[in-house]
Amino acid sequence: ARRGAHGGGKRRLGVMGGTFDPIHHGHLVAASEVAARFQLDEVVFVPTGEPWQKSHKHVSPAEDRYLMTVIATAENPQFSVSRIDIDRGGPTYTKDTLRDLRELNPGTDLFFITGADALSQILTWQDAEETFSLAHFIGVTRPGHTLADPGLPDGSVSFVEVPALAISSTDCRDRVAKGDPVWYLVPDGVVRYIDKRELYRGE
Ligand code: ATP
Ligand code: MG
- pLDDT reported for residue 127: 77
pLDDT band at 6 (very low <50, low <70, confident <90, very high): low
- Compute the distance from residue 18 Cα to the ligand 1 centre, in Å: 7
Nearest to 114 by CA among 97, 90, 91, 89: 97
Ligand nearest to the CA of 92: 1
CB of 14 sitting under 6 A from ligand 1: no
Lowest mean pLDDT across 67-76, 94-103, 123-132, 168-177: 123-132
Pocket probe for ligand 1: among 169, 173, 182, 200, the residue whose CB has the most ligand atoms within 8 Å is 169
pLDDT at res. 130: 86
Q: Which amino acid is at 108?
A: T
Residue 92 Cβ contacting ligand 1 at under 6 Å: no
> For 11-164, which CATH class?
alpha beta
Percent helix, strand, coil in the chain, to 5, is 40, 20, 40
Q: What is the pLDDT of residues 110-162, one digit of tens each?
A: 999 999 888 877 666 667 888 889 999 999 999 998 877 667 777 788 999 99
Helical (H) or strand (E) element with 198: none
| Average pLDDT of span 59-70 | 96
- Is it the case that residue 25 has pLDDT exceeding 60? yes
pLDDT of residue 203: 64
Whether residue 81 has its Cβ less than 6 Å from ligand 1:
no
Give the ligand with the smallest distance to the CA of 169.
Answer: 1
Residue 5 main-chain phi, psi, to 5 deg: -60, -25
What pLDDT score was predicted for residue 53?
57
CA 63, chain centre distance (Å): 16
Does ligand 1 come within 6 angstroms of the Cβ of 68?
no
Q: Whole-angstrom Cα distance, residue 97 to residue 117?
A: 19
What amino acid occupies position 139?
A: G
Three-state SS letters, 117-173? HHHHCHHHCCCHHHHHHHCEEEEECCCCCCCCCCCCCCCCEEEECCCCCCCCHHHHH
Span from the CA of 21 to the centroid of ligand 2 (angstroms): 9
- The more confident residue out of 3 and 115 is 115
Domain locations in the chain as residue ranges: 11-164
Nearest C-alpha neighbor of 22 from the set 190, 167, 184? 190
Helix or strand (DSSP H, E) at 11: strand 11-18
The residue contributing the CA closest to ligand 1 atom 26 is: 26
Q: From the alpha carbon of 141, which atom of ligand 1 is closest?
A: 29
**155 against 81, higher pLDDT:** 81
**Closest listed ligand to the CA of 115:** 1
> Is the pLDDT score of 1 beyond 70?
no
Paired residues of 111 in beta bridges? 14, 136
Q: Give the pLDDT confidence score for residue 132 in this predicted structure.
A: 87
Altogether, the residues listed in the chain come to a count of 203
Question: What pLDDT score does 52 carry?
Answer: 54
183 or 124, higher pLDDT: 183
Gap from CA of 122 to ligand 1 centroid (Å)? 14
| pLDDT surpasses 50 at 31 | yes
| Euclidean distance between CA atoms 86 and 14, whole angstroms | 18
Answer yes or no: are the C-beta atoms of 186 and 23 closer than 8 Å.
Answer: yes
Degrees (nearest 5) of the Cα angle 74, 173, 195? 60
| Structural contact between residues 47 and 69, judged by C-beta atoms closer than 8 angstroms | yes
